[in-house]
A = this chain, B = another copy of it.
Amino acid sequence: MSGNTFGRVFRLTTFGESHGPGLGGVVDGCPAGIALDEDVIQHELDRRKPGQGLGTTSRSESDRVRILSGVYQGRTTGTSIGFSIPNEDQRSRDYGRLETVYRPGHADFTYQAKYGIRDHRGGGRSSGRETVCRVAGGAIAGALLATMGIAVTAYTVELGGIAAGSVDMEAAANRPFFAANRDVVPLWEERIKAVRDASDTLGGVVEIVARGVPAGLGEPVLDKLDARLAFALMGVGAIKGVEIGSGFQAARMLGSENNDPILAQGFASNNAGGILGGISTGQTVLIRASVKPIPSIAKPQTTIDTQGREQELRIGGRHDICAIPRIVPVLKAMVCLTLADMLLLQRMQQHP
């Protein structure tokens, strides 16, 4: 209830601050018999590691995950899966002034307002570092989905206002920025450099697709699949908008344009994004998320301190220029977690 658990029946509960001893979580509800080991999780964690390219901090996090329970001889046992990811390379001294000054665009002000106390070091619980636990949980969800033939892919379709155009998703996992195609990469690199030189930051748009989703996932009317996906993605820091299928464009289309005709061999188009009435159609599920620019900028900003006095703030330290690419595996993880949950809920409809 207090916000650290995700999911109804396939549930991830997480904990951990940026500069505490470590982070971790518990996955409850994963069926028994799923092949799982630390490598499966580590592979996903490595994809969100910093220091992998332009626009990301050089903080050297190793992010080594350890499975503490729920797996025996390489298979899940049906009991809760605990995991831990210790913190390393914390430089709390970098954050000294932030104890008393609220960074614009960050959660400093709101955590103080909500709790009356906060761990300011590195953003504490509100740090992007929290997302390692989502990625770990998402990897476990992905292992379950894989047994059903469901595969989730995420890639970047726009960065700093430059759209990728065409999508060639297969190789995206190995491209810089998880770019939708290869040609846009140099344009984005150029844009990143220019913005970095201007002591500023930028955002972009990420697309996530899920293939192999069977028809029938989603619990209408108040727990629709699209609603749950929007919840999952909007719950990632930096996300300000979410679209399914034709999304905001649907508002400008006619019914005859937006409707997907149904042919004997299947749907003729996919403006619905693979979801009708909150239930999957069996088509590819298609979602897009808007990523805001990183709020930690080196430019001077006006803000207040904990006494309410105005201050000029320049944020030093190591920071990313763009939440992309590191946010991409996080968004993928959230979709995996959501689908795993809806998959198990749908099992309750099964007859003996």
Bound complex: CA A162 to CA B124 (Å): 44
Nearest CB of chain B from residue A77's CB, rounded to whole Å: 5
Most chain B CB inside 10 Å of its own CB: which residue of A13, A77, A290, A302: A13
Contacting B at CB under 8 A, from A203-234, are 203-205, 215-224, 226-234
Chain A 90-132, CB within 8 Å of chain B: the 1/0 string? 0000000000001011110111011111110000111000100
Task: Let me know if A185 is at the binding interface, CB within 8 A.
Answer: no
Residues of B within 8 A of A62 (CB): none
For A222, A231, A268, the residue with the greatest tally of chain B CB atoms inside 10 Å of its CB is: A222
From known contacts A230-B231, A251-B158, infer whether A105 and B272 are also in contact, taking CB-CB under 8 Å: yes
- Residues B347 and A262 in contact, CB atoms below 8 Å apart: no
> Is A153 part of the binding interface, using a Cβ–Cβ cutoff of 8 Å?
no
Interface hits, A240-289 → B, CB 8 Å: 240-264, 268, 272-273, 275-282
Report the bound CA distance from A301 to B257 in whole Å: 11
CB distance from A313 to the nearest CB of B (A): 9
Task: Say yes or no for A329: interface residue by CB 8 A criterion.
Answer: no
A186 within 8 A of B: no
Instruction: Establish whether residues A1 and B28, one from each chain, have CB atoms under 8 Å apart when the complex forms.
Output: yes
Residues of B within 8 A of A216 (CB): 110, 113-114
Which of B8, B114, B258, B308 touches A264 (beta carbons < 8 Å)? B308
Whether the pair B66, A294 counts as a contact (CB closer than 8 A) is: no
In the complex, per-residue mask of A323-349: 1 if CB is within 8 Å of any chain B CB, else 0: 000000000000000000000111111
Interface residue ranges of A8-25 to B (CB < 8 Å):
8-9, 11-17, 20-25
- Known pairs A9-B2, A240-B245; A349 contacts B32 (CB<8 A): yes
Mark the stretch among A44-52, A173-181, A194-202 that contacts chain B: A194-202
Q: How far, in whole Å, are A1 and B13 apart by their CA atoms in the complex?
A: 12
